[in-house]
Amino acid sequence: MTHRQYTIVVERAEGNYSAYAPDLPGVVAAGDTVEETERLMREAILLYFEELRASGESIPEPTSVARTVEVVA
């Protein structure tokens, strides 16, 4: 089994957190905490991979990276 690292974006929403993976369209999760949201994203990604395998499709390679930049506002 190949280990891959996918970028996820976690955003604070009203009352919870939500996340998505830029390299995996449609894979999203929401949770009460950042940690819960990350765990749910891992589960969602694994389910997505199972669906891809079941339909004979290949698992996409991760290509996105995230960076933060400092600006003076």
Boundaries of every domain in the chain: 1-73
3-state SS assignment for residue 17: strand
What are the tens digits of pLDDT across the range 39-72? 999 999 999 999 999 999 999 999 999 999 999 9
pLDDT of residue 20: 98
Domain 1-73 CATH class label: alpha beta
Mean predicted lDDT score pLDDT of the chain: 96
DSSP SS3 for 47: helix
Share above pLDDT 90 across residues of the chain, in percent, rounded to a whole number: 93
Q: How far apart are CA 54 and CA 64, in angstroms?
A: 25
Whose tokens are 């990276």? That residue is 65
User: From the centroid of its chain, how far is CA 57?
Assistant: 19
